[in-house]
Amino acid sequence: MKGNLLKKAAAILVLLLTALSVLSGCTSGNEENGGAGEESRIDENVEENDTQIEGNTRVITDSIGREIEIPYPVTSAAVANAYNVEIINAIDAIDSVVGVDYNIFQDKEGFKNRFTEDMVIGKSQKELNYEKIIEINPQVLILTGNGVYEEAEKQLESFGIKVVVVDAYYTDQFEQNCELLGKIFGKESEAEELSDYFMDKLDYINKQLEGVEKKTVYFEYRTEGNTTVPGDFFFNMVEFSGADNIFKTAENVQVDTEAVVVEDPQYIVKVSAPDVYSSYYPPTLEEHKAILDELASRPGWDEISAIKDNSLVEYENALDNGFPEVTENNRVLLLSHYVHGGASKLVGTMYIAKFLYPELLPELHPEQVFYDWITKYQKLDYIEGHTYPAYTFED
């Protein structure tokens, strides 16, 4: 009897040791392959198991070089700054935006009334309502580098809301920001297509203008004497067009308008009237004309080449005959606040380049670029009248 019990115990012990050996072998195999077996299983079932997708994370590097671990893909984001939202919209990730700043919210036509007042997270990237952000509880808050991202990180860290900096207002970072936002929202292919569309056109401008003597330009943003200098948000929009910015060595964006007379630019590019902000609806013909009249009325500006050589015939007759078309005598280009900013201001770059060098850029058609940006990428109806003089699809 005792012997039988010992035999049974020995047999049970052998079975246990065998089972442990098998389990040990399985574990050892996964560790040697870096857990590849489990990862492959998850990859094969991503479409079947949403919980596993939401549980995934990835590490991204934001616009100011910080490495941040975020959910992948992000399915809920609060976003400040319209440049960021426009790219998010362009890569078909707008449904993941659950909160926006007031400046974005008020552009109702530009976003088809998508954003409601209860989604507003603050006035801008510099003035945030943290209680509202916590209430909305997005996975990430996307800000710009000139916003309060450090403070936001402190306020939101304990709630598990990640803060990511995306500087979509910088023209020279468009390609990187497309890639970054594509990685955040799992829209890599859409982001690559968007980037390629605009970078191909920028490459064309660079190729065609290589070695060409640059034409001098005075750029003005909204108010008198408010120009662009290195480091400013508008500088590369002008620089990438092949223009010779007359204030490219200045240190302050505000200049004395008498200095413009001294520099005597060949061309003038102006964005918007002082009291107008971004709007899907373009300025009226009368509003465009008022800007031109104000420029020409400034003391001494009638002696500036851009004003003196500008064809005034088309402008004087514009109110009776509609928008003037582009001619070789145009020396002043007006861009609406809305049109200049498309694709991190690359749409603005296309207009300025064509304005300055029409004969050298026969295959660049800025109005077509704007059409594609607004219809394909922003999902809006095309609307004309955002430039003065008016460009056609063939120009």
Using CA of residue 106, residue 111, residue 117, residue 121, what is the dihedral sign? negative
Domain range list for the chain: 54-187, 209-388
CATH architecture label of 54-187? 3-Layer(aba) Sandwich (3.40)
Report d(CA 333, CA 341) in Å as an integer.
15
322 — pLDDT class (breaks 50, 70, 90): low
pLDDT at 323 over 60: no
Q: Quick: pLDDT tens for 85-115.
A: 999 999 999 999 999 999 999 999 999 999 9
pLDDT band at residue 321 using 50, 70 and 90 as cut-offs = low
Domain 209-388 has CATH 3.40.50.1980: yes
> pLDDT tier at 182 (50, 70, 90 boundaries)?
very high
150 token code pair: 């450090």
Handedness of CA 70, 73, 77, 82 (dihedral sign): positive
Lowest mean pLDDT among 156-170, 199-213, 279-293, 356-370: 279-293
pLDDT of residue 51: 28
Residue 48 phi/psi, 5-degree rounding, is: -95, -25
d(CA 129, CA 273): 30
pTM of the predicted model as reported, rounded to 2 decimal places: 0.83
Residue predicted with more confidence, 40 or 105: 105
Mean local confidence (pLDDT), 156-171? 97
**297 Cβ neighbours under 8 A, 6+ residues apart:** none
Half-sphere exposure of 29 (CA within 13 A, CB side): 8
User: Do the beta carbons of residue 87 and residue 144 sit within 8 Å?
Assistant: no
> Which of 138-147, 258-267, 321-330 is the least confident region?
321-330
pLDDT value of residue 277? 76
Residue 249: its pLDDT value, please?
97
Q: What is the pLDDT of residues 188-209, one digit of tens each?
A: 999 999 999 999 999 999 999 9
Of the listed ranges 99-113, 152-166, 313-327, 358-372, the one predicted with least confidence: 313-327
Domains 54-187 and 209-388 share a fold: yes
Query: Could you tell me the sign of the dihedral formed by the alpha carbons of 375, 381, 387, 389, in that order?
Result: positive
Average pLDDT, the chain: 86
Three-class DSSP category at 123: strand
Name the nearest CA neighbour of 138 among 55, 60, 78, 74. Answer: 78
Q: According to the model, what pLDDT value does residue 206 have?
A: 98
For 143-152, what is the mean pLDDT? 95
126-130, 149-153, 320-324: which range is least confident on average?
Answer: 320-324
pLDDT, one tens digit per residue, over 238-285 is: 999 999 999 999 999 999 999 999 999 999 999 998 988 789 999 999
Token output for 44: 């094969």
